[in-house]
Structures are given as C-alpha cells and as structure tokens.
Structure 1
Amino acid sequence: MIHPQAIIDSSAELAGDVTVGPFSVIGPNVTVDAGTYIGPHVVIEGPTRIGRDNRILQFASLGSDPQDKKYRGEPTELVIGDRNLIRESVTINRGTLNGNGRTLIGDDNLLMAYIHIAHDCRIGNNTIFSNNASLAGHVHIDDWVILSGFTLVHQFCSIGAHAFTGMGSAIAKDVPPYMIVSGNPAHPHGINKEGLKRRGFSPEQISQLRRAYKLLYRQGLTLDDALAELTVLATTEPAIRPLLDFLQKDVRRSIIR
C-alpha cells in the first residue's frame, strides 16, 4: 500500500492498510489511522495525528510550521479526525503555544481545492469549504458550516453552526449560528433556511429562528436589548437556545450586524 517512491520517516506510524502514493513525504512524529488514503505528492509534517478513513489528495501540505512570526519551533501539533476529504493543494498548519498548541479538524468535512487553514483553528464536523476559502489563525468553525468559494475569515473570528457564507465574503466579525452572510465586508441576509430543511429542522423550528433573526437584525434593538428578548423567547422556543448561547458567549466581542 506504500508506493516505493514515497518517503516515510522511520518514526511515522501508519496503520497496515494506509495507502501512500508516489512522491509523497511523511515526516517524523506523524500518525495515520486505518483506512486513510494519501495520494501522490502529499507532504505531511509532524507532530500530526490523522484519524480513520480520510482521503488526502495530491499536493496537500499538512502539519507544516505555523505562519506566525512569534513561533520559535515549539512542539505543537495538527489533529485531524475521521472521514475527511482533503482535496488538491489544501494547506493546514500546526498550532502555536499562544493557541493551546493545536490545530483541530473534526470528522466528515469536505475541504475543496486550495483551502488554507492557519494555526490554532478549530473546525467542527460536517463542514464544507469551497475552493480557495481561507482561515487566518485562531478561527473557530462550528458544525455544518458552509463557506462558499473565496471566503476569507479574519483571525480570532467564530462562525456558528449551520451558517452559510456567500461567494467572496470577507468576514472580520463573528457570525452567529444559522445565518447567511455575504459581501465585503460581510452582512447578514437572513437565516440558512434551505440548509436547515436539508438537515431535518421542522417548519416550526425554522419559524422560531426567523423570529429570532428579526429580533436581532430587523427591529432596531441594541444587542443587549435583543439578548434580553431572545432570553425570554428561548424559554418557550428551544431552537433559539444555541443561537442565544453563542451570543451570550460572544457578548464581549463583535458580531456581524
């Protein structure tokens, strides 16, 4: 399963059924679990841990040093979960000590061509990153987020679950769950109704979230006043709770409004 023209460091640990294509280089302190396919011309540097049943295609570069001038060669790592599809020329950097030393990629994510994920990012599960989307350092992406092509996310920003970004969006503030945002700079354009339908949200839940969106964005309320209204609403409309939790955690930061 290892092509004779691949270069595998003696300290790398690969499960017995891992496939590695020609001209790929796997460095020291790399662990790859069962069922993972690594195509040709892939470079994986360590410390990096890769889970089960991933597909990593040509010219991807995983686990390289963070692009951070403060980095001085400290032992940091990249951790990738299970069943991710990592397409051509994707780059993912390891963490820094300022970010707990770890870049994390969850499970069942689709990372299309030319994606860049910088140091200390945390990516959840079931996300889709379209071609050329890029994350600066310390970005948090929750489950089921979709980033359209050429989306750019500023460092330290968070994007909540089930959010959707339009093509070419420039995001410099946090994006609450369920929202559609687009533009440069990005602005809100309603809730991700079609995405929520596909994931099994009921018409009643979607109606609750549309009501929450209007409170947050269409009634001229301050953020504090909107939070107070949403707190009351969440007691009888449970679909709003994840949105409220995100906003309460985020209250000292700036959200897209």
Structure 2
Amino acid sequence: MLESKDVVVVPESTQSLPLFPFFCAPSLSLLLLLLSYAETNRVHTSTLTKPSLIHPTAAVHPDAVIGQGVSIGPFCSVGSSAKLGNGCRLYPGSHVSGSTELGDNCTLMTGAVVGDDYPGRTVIGSNNSIGYHAVIGVKPQDLKYKQEDECFLEVGDNNDIREHTSIHRSSKSTDRTVIGNGNLIMGSCHIAHDCKIGNNNIFANNTLLAGHVEVEDNVHTAGATVVHQFCHIGSYSFLGGGSVVTQDVPTYVMVAGERAELRGLNLVGLTRCGFSSAEIRNLRTAYRNLFMRVDANAGSLEERIAEVELHEELGHVPAVRAMLQSIRNSFAENRRGICKIRHWNAS
C-alpha cells in the first residue's frame, strides 16, 4: 500500500487554482501538462493510474513514503520517516512528522499536527479524519517522561477526531496510548498518555481524560467531563455533563455530578444499542438490589453482589453477570473502587 513514490508537483502557474477541486477532476490536457512538468523536474511518475499531487509550497522530504492518490496542500510538511497511505488528503498547513504512519484515506484538516520527532512511533489506521488544529501523537505531558525514551500511539480505523483535540503518546516504551475504531471525539477533547480507548465511543466537547484511563466500548460522555487518572469506564455507560469522575464507572450505568455519583442505568444508551426489554428489566432489578436497598438487612455491597449472583433468575443473565464482574474488578488491587452510591431512604 505504501510502496508507491509517484508524485506530481503542481506547477507554479497553477497555484491560483483551487487545490482540491482541481485535484479531483483534472482535464486530460492539464494532466498531460502536469506529467510533462514532473518528468522535466525528474519526479518519479512510473505509475500513472492515480498519481499523488503535491503543492509546490509543501515541504515533503524525499525519503517520505507517499501512496497513490495522495493530495498534499499548500504549506504542509511531511517528514523523512513519514508514510502516507493511498488516498490521504492533507489540507493547507497540516503537518506529519517523526516516525508516523497514516493508513489509507485519512484526512488532515487545516492546521492538524500528527506525530513528532521524539523517539517512538505514531500509527494511524485507515479512514480517519483529524480536525482543524488537532494535535495527535506528540510527547506526553508527564514529568516522569524522559526525552530519550520511546513513546507510542496507536489509532484504529474510522475515527472522527474533531478540532483542537489533543491525543498524546505513552509515557514509557513499555506502554502504548491506544484508540480503537469508530470513535467520535468532539472538539477540544484531551486524551492523555497511556490511555486505552475502545470502540464506538462518543466523547462530547471538552471531555478530558487523564493518564492511564481505560474506556471500554459504546461509552458516551456529555460535555466538560473530567476523568481522574487510572479510572476505568465500563461499556455502555454514560457520564453526565460537567461530571468529575474520580473512581470507576461500572458497565451499563449512568453517573453525574461533581465527584460523580451513580444515577441509575443508562437506559437510553442500552435501548439504542439494541438491548432487549427483558435484558433491561433484569438489569434494573439487579441494580435496585445492589444500590437501592433500604431495608435494615441489606448487608454490604459484597454481600449484595453475592446475593444477585446466586439469584435463580438474575444470576444466569449474561448482562447482569457482566455488570457484577465490572463492579468486582473495580475493587481489585490497584483499582479505585466505583463512584459514590447515592444514598436512598424510605421517605
């Protein structure tokens, strides 16, 4: 995919033409003009099926690997160790540096920065969009990090990373910052070093994840959510706007508030994700037994978990068991426990 180094440099006489519309549908005569210009300037163009087109003001290192059909706009830069997959588009003023690889059909909007020249590597999958002035794959904001250490970022496929978002590499060579597939990361979000993000999550504007946070799949945060370092966010959970999450969020639940509290199940999210009415009914019963008991014999949380596990009906429901296991895991060694439980009374 990345072996082709065929490029066409746009002649100075065409600089006044709109860049990307011009790239998309050049006339035959204009294409011949470009190919003639490239041959005169000794640009390799042996594969003519889908040449890459580079604006003359762009700084593309001759050692960079450029796939077919790549469009590189004015005032962009591509470093010597960079690899751009087929069909990538770099809008004006975007930059790819360091040991960085972009998969096929990635788009960098104006001002986007991907990678840096520090030791390590940034790998971006296919079909990702990186928004205006986003900064992806730079060194971590961790005082323990030493500049001679390698640091890494791996991003999957089909992610929409919006404007002014920052995603940092790992803080040490033995770890990775990882982003999965199909995530929507809205404007001005921050994902710090060593975070692990799953698939199909939605982070609303100004969601801030500190270092080593783990987010599973199908999680939705509302705006201005803050997550403390080393927290775990379970699948299908919802974090309310302005929440400050300092402990783990179990699978399927909803939290909100300054020092976020459990506020019930994420019923809207579960319904939208295709959970059946029977599954949701069983989860609601289990949640009430775990967190809404008001009788004097309710026992400790551990005792209530065990009681639900042994329930003749609830104990055999996979979704219920997943929620119970998520809660248990949060009390393992080096974990932070779950968010505060709202206290209920009988009145």
Q: Shorter-chain TM-score: what band?
A: over 0.9
Normalization by structure 1: what TM-score? Answer: 0.96
Q: Which has the larger radius of gyration?
A: 2
Per-residue deviation at 1:42? 0.6
Stretches of structure 2 that go unaligned for 5 or more consecutive residues are: 1-70, 342-347
TM alignment of 1:137-148, pairs within 5 A: 137-148=211-222
* Structure 2 residue identity aligned to 1:13: K
What does 1:27-42 align with in structure 2 at a 5 Å threshold? 27-42=97-112
Pairs within 5 Å for 1:221-240: 221-233=299-311, 235-240=315-320
Summarize the Cα distance change of 1:227–1:41 in structure 2 as closer, same or farther, 3 Å threshold.
Answer: same
Q: What root-mean-square deviation, in Å, do the aligned CA atoms of Structure 1 and Structure 2 show?
A: 1.3
Contact 1:215/1:221 (8 A) holds in 2? no
Q: Identify the residue that residue 249 of structure 1 maps to in structure 2.
A: 329
Q: Structure 1 residues 3, 221: closer, same or farther in 2, change over 3 A? A: farther
Query: Structure 1 stretches (4+) deviating beyond 3 angstroms?
Result: none
CA contact (8 A) 1:24 1:40 kept: yes
Matched AA of 1:247:
I
Paired position in structure 2 for 1:88? 163
TM-score by length of 2: 0.72
Measured after TM superposition, the shift of residue 245 of structure 1 is 2.0
- Unaligned runs of 5+ residues in structure 1 are none
Percent of aligned pairs sharing the same letter? 39
Aligned to 1:194: 268
CA distance in 2, matches of 1:221, 1:35: 56
Match of 1:130 in 2: 204
Of structures 1 and 2, the one scoring higher in RCO (CA 8 A, sep 6+) is 1
> What is the CA–CA distance in structure 1 between the aligned matches of 2:283 and 2:166, rounded to whole Å?
35
Residues 102-122 of structure 1 deviation map (CA, whole Å, 9 limit, x = unaligned): 100000000000000000001
Verify: 1:63 aligned to 2:137, yes or no. yes
Of residues 250, 256, 264, the one that matches 1:182 is 256
Work out the CA distance in 2 between the residues paired with 1:16 and 1:167: 39
- What secondary structure, in the 3-state scheme, does the structure 2 residue paired with 1:62 have? strand
Matched, 1:210 2:293: no
Residue type of the alignment partner of 2:319: A
Residue 8 of structure 1: CA displacement? 0.3
Q: What CA distance in whole angstroms lies between the structure 1 residues aligned with 2:74 and 2:241?
A: 41
2:182 and 2:175 map into 1 onto residues whose CA distance is 23
CA–CA distance in structure 2, aligned partners of residues 221 and 238 of structure 1: 24
Bigger shift: residues 39-48 or 125-134: 39-48
Aligned to 2:87: 17
8 A contact 1:136–1:155 mirrored in 2: yes
